A and B are shown apart, each in its own frame.
Chain A
């Protein structure tokens, strides 16, 4: 799935972003040429990106470390505090979260949204977490097994 299939869609994004302020056309007081160039590079990038690829998401929502900081105080629906933005290293099945490698694909828990956003974005789920952490405490498997 490509986010933006046509130049017309990319142009729509420009126009919709315009009133937001940060990259407003014609507002030379607030937009530097560097910002303007960066915005265009970004639009070009997402125009050809795959929405199921985390890199696409992180172009706006990242970097991953920033996401981790934003959700440091997240509380799961069952009331347990846990940062859901973790890494999962497939090469370390006994200790998958410690290496810091390989963020889980965003689409494991989130549904990609269109740009511009035209529909409410469904909340993320923790199904992938509880597939392993079946008691919902998010403690290490070795606590019980």
Chain B
């Protein structure tokens, strides 16, 4: 410890004790239900002085962090935003996504819809997994998303989704999702959407600290009172006079958490490689309860060992099929997309003790190769975030070995490690369906039945591919993080996909919409705490 009672960078034993004390602080609340043990433990690690202080500290700068920072600032709080990535390497999920946000038409329909979308099993009302108060607040606050953006100066909106995911869910037609209108009349994708928010944050003079990861929360008497951050090789102690907001994103890049919480491996994500579950652990250390750890949304994506994140696929309308690792089709390819599509990969062979669809393979021919990139260049890693430039004819990805090429289906099967006879027979059968315009096996839509008959042939590996994780610390309708007994951890809030409220993903834009809505709620309530 240095003279302030704060451990130094080099003092590993002290750091370990410090972290143990902090963990004990959280567990103290959990086990004793009193503030005594917590206070003692927390007091023992309080710095004698802080390096700096502010009213509200927001950890993590994506759409949620931006919304929280803007709102807390506008409510009169001094705000400090900490972001662990560098400004020129900032790849938050909000920037990688399509920039869509959900704004329901009206509260009543939104509540009716979410009453179904909040069920673990949509057929069973008793499986609703968030309380009615949360659903009501969600419906009210999400309904204000467009108005809030307009107040910030958004020039207009482009309708992205005119309905929810399921016509059988009540209120479906009121579930609308939008993008901010761009200058060309098209909607802004994630980069443009985030640029808009960033401009508002900067315009308010909100202090953004890039390359400054938060390491720990500091609590005293059970209340969160500050943050230990790392800047330029040293720990920095920052006091939060009012509150801390966790908006650090999910755990899509935390291998340990993925193995712990997800049902299969590998399950891959196209999101920020920096989403390593930091906020999850910081909240856990203070005794936070967790929820929605297994909730996911996505379909199939491609991930390669020499690139840090998965790619969003663009199957296109030219000839292609999807087969399992034995070479057999298993589903109408037009039904592999959507936010529940990944379930199609999660079929376990209980006799062979294997996942027959992990990996699956996208098989296509020369027409598809030359028709355009196999990934979306509108968003994701190969979009405007410019993490990777995917070649227009997919040739660079063939050279890299991401796409396998062969002159015949037999040869292609060999490269994938499949029995050639199985794949050859499957392709011949599929080509017969294409000729008949009728898929007798899986009912693929007729307009997608295009024969695979133009060599060379290609294959690209597919994995169950998600957009982001939803799990994290449980929050209440005031965006407070709750401990394992359901009590709010004082002065600790969350927003965004870290501990998202969703059970079934409601529709495209629900995550960003939640970032906005709960970013505002968290920012409002954090600013309202007594300094």
Residues of A within 8 A of B (CB): 76-80, 88, 90, 93-94, 96, 130-132, 134-137, 141, 143-145
Interface centre among B186, B337, B447, B508 (most CB of A within 10 A): B447
Q: Which of B160, B163, B446 contacts A78 (CB 8 A)?
A: B163
B398 interface residue per 8 A CB criterion: no
B334 interface residue per 8 A CB criterion: yes
Binary interface encoding of chain B residues 376-388 relative to chain A, with 1 for a CB under 8 A from any of its CBs, else 0: 1010000000000
Residues of chain B with a CB closer than 8 A to A132's CB = 445, 447
Residues of chain A with a CB closer than 8 A to B161's CB = 135-137
- A135 & B508 in contact (Cβ 8 Å cutoff): yes
Q: How far is the CA of A78 from the CA of B376 in the complex (A)?
A: 27
- A78 & B162 in contact (Cβ 8 Å cutoff): yes
B159 interface residue per 8 A CB criterion: yes
Residues of B within 8 A of A (CB): 98, 105, 159-163, 172-173, 177, 186, 314, 316-318, 334, 337-338, 371, 376, 378, 437, 445-448, 450, 508
Residues of chain A with a CB closer than 8 A to B318's CB = 93-94
Residues of chain B with a CB closer than 8 A to A76's CB = 162
- B448 & A80 in contact (Cβ 8 Å cutoff): no
Q: List 7 A-B contacts (CB under 8 A).
A: A93-B450, A130-B163, A131-B445, A143-B186, A144-B98, A144-B160, A145-B378
- B447 & A145 in contact (Cβ 8 Å cutoff): no
- A79 & B447 in contact (Cβ 8 Å cutoff): no
Residues of chain B with a CB closer than 8 A to A79's CB = 105, 162, 173
Residues of chain B with a CB closer than 8 A to A141's CB = 317
Q: How far is the CA of A144 from the CA of B158 in the complex (A)?
A: 12
- A77 & B173 in contact (Cβ 8 Å cutoff): yes
Q: How far is the CA of A79 from the CA of B172 in the complex (A)?
A: 11
A89 CB → nearest B CB, Å = 9
- A145 & B314 in contact (Cβ 8 Å cutoff): yes
- A96 & B173 in contact (Cβ 8 Å cutoff): no
- B159 & A137 in contact (Cβ 8 Å cutoff): yes
**Closest residue to B165 on the A side, CB-wise?**
A134
Q: How far is the CA of A90 from the CA of B105 in the complex (A)?
A: 36
- A88 & B173 in contact (Cβ 8 Å cutoff): no
Task: Given A93-B450, A134-B338, verify A80-B162 contact (CB < 8 Å).
Answer: yes
- A90 & B334 in contact (Cβ 8 Å cutoff): no
- A93 & B173 in contact (Cβ 8 Å cutoff): no
- A78 & B447 in contact (Cβ 8 Å cutoff): no
B73 CB → nearest A CB, Å = 33
Closest 5 CB pairs of A and B: A136-B162, A135-B161, A136-B163, A78-B163, A93-B317
Residues of chain A with a CB closer than 8 A to B337's CB = 134
A134 CB → nearest B CB, Å = 7
Q: How far is the CA of A76 from the CA of B172 in the complex (A)?
A: 13
Chain B interface main SS type: loop
**Closest residue to B379 on the A side, CB-wise?**
A144
**Closest residue to A127 on the B side, CB-wise?**
B167
Q: How far is the CA of A74 from the CA of B123 in the complex (A)?
A: 33
- A94 & B159 in contact (Cβ 8 Å cutoff): no
- A93 & B160 in contact (Cβ 8 Å cutoff): no
B315 CB → nearest A CB, Å = 8
Task: Given A135-B508, A145-B314, A145-B376, verify A93-B447 contact (CB < 8 Å).
Answer: yes
Residues of chain A with a CB closer than 8 A to B447's CB = 88, 90, 93, 96, 132
- A144 & B446 in contact (Cβ 8 Å cutoff): no
**Closest residue to A90 on the B side, CB-wise?**
B447
A57 CB → nearest B CB, Å = 20
B288 CB → nearest A CB, Å = 35
Q: Which of A80, A90, A145 contacts B159 (CB 8 A)?
A: A80
B173 CB → nearest A CB, Å = 4
Residues of chain B with a CB closer than 8 A to A145's CB = 314, 316, 376, 378
Q: How far is the CA of A131 from the CA of B332 in the complex (A)?
A: 12
**Closest residue to A126 on the B side, CB-wise?**
B167
Q: How far is the CA of A141 from the CA of B161 in the complex (A)?
A: 13
Residues of chain B with a CB closer than 8 A to A144's CB = 98, 160, 378
**Closest residue to A89 on the B side, CB-wise?**
B447
Apart from A94-B317, A135-B162, what are 16 other A-B pairs with CB-CB below 8 Å? Answer: A79-B105, A79-B162, A88-B447, A90-B446, A90-B447, A93-B317, A93-B318, A94-B318, A130-B163, A134-B337, A134-B338, A135-B161, A135-B163, A137-B160, A141-B317, A145-B316
A139 CB → nearest B CB, Å = 8
**Closest residue to A88 on the B side, CB-wise?**
B447
Residues of chain B with a CB closer than 8 A to A96's CB = 447
Residues of chain B with a CB closer than 8 A to A130's CB = 163
Residues of chain A with a CB closer than 8 A to B177's CB = 135
**Closest residue to A133 on the B side, CB-wise?**
B162
Q: How far is the CA of A136 from the CA of B98 in the complex (A)?
A: 17
Residues of chain B with a CB closer than 8 A to A90's CB = 437, 446-447
Interface centre among B172, B317, B337 (most CB of A within 10 A): B317
Residues of chain A with a CB closer than 8 A to B186's CB = 143
Residues of chain A with a CB closer than 8 A to B317's CB = 93-94, 141
- B162 & A137 in contact (Cβ 8 Å cutoff): yes
A127 CB → nearest B CB, Å = 8
**Closest residue to B175 on the A side, CB-wise?**
A78
Interface centre among A93, A134, A143, A144 (most CB of B within 10 A): A144
Q: How far is the CA of A141 from the CA of B315 in the complex (A)?
A: 12
Q: How far is the CA of A96 from the CA of B314 in the complex (A)?
A: 18
A74 CB → nearest B CB, Å = 14
- A131 & B162 in contact (Cβ 8 Å cutoff): no
Residues of chain B with a CB closer than 8 A to A78's CB = 162-163, 172-173
**Closest residue to A125 on the B side, CB-wise?**
B167
B9 CB → nearest A CB, Å = 47
Residues of chain B with a CB closer than 8 A to A134's CB = 337-338
Q: How far is the CA of A96 from the CA of B447 in the complex (A)?
A: 9
Q: How far is the CA of A132 from the CA of B446 in the complex (A)?
A: 12
Q: How far is the CA of A92 from the CA of B507 in the complex (A)?
A: 29
Q: How far is the CA of A130 from the CA of B168 in the complex (A)?
A: 14
A113 CB → nearest B CB, Å = 23
Q: How far is the CA of A96 from the CA of B508 in the complex (A)?
A: 25
Q: How far is the CA of A143 from the CA of B376 in the complex (A)?
A: 11
Interface centre among A76, A93, A136, A137 (most CB of B within 10 A): A136
B221 CB → nearest A CB, Å = 49
